[in-house]
């Protein structure tokens, strides 16, 4: 392994945490988009999509911090 948790714990935590956040963001965005029919998108649907993304992102972040 290139990074050792024992030798550089802060760097290891930052790199590992960044990867986890990227994965979580991709899952949240995928789940938000999957719920909508994107072939007939309107401004109302776009706002619902954005709100759904913010909700999922916030709850996922809070669960991750807890």
Does a structural domain hold residue 3? no
Domain count, the chain: 1
Alpha-carbon distance of 4 to 8, in angstroms, equals 6
Cα 34 to chain centroid, rounded: 15
Whole-number pLDDT of residue 56? 79
Cα 13 to chain centroid, rounded: 18
The residue range of the domain holding 13 is 9-65
Global pTM reads 0.47
Q: What is the mean pLDDT of each run of 10 residues along the chain (66 residues)?
A: 72 76 80 76 85 83 74
Does a structural domain hold residue 58? yes
Whole-number pLDDT of residue 5? 73
Does a structural domain hold residue 52? yes
């Amino acid at each position: 392994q290139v990074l050792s948790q024992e030798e550089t714990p802060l760097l290891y935590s930052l790199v590992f945490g960044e990867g986890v956040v990227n994965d979580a963001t991709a899952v949240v965005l995928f789940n938000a988009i999957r719920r909508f029919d994107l072939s007939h998108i309107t401004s109302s649907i776009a706002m619902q999509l954005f709100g759904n993304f913010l909700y999922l992102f916030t709850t996922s972040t809070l669960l991750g911090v807890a």
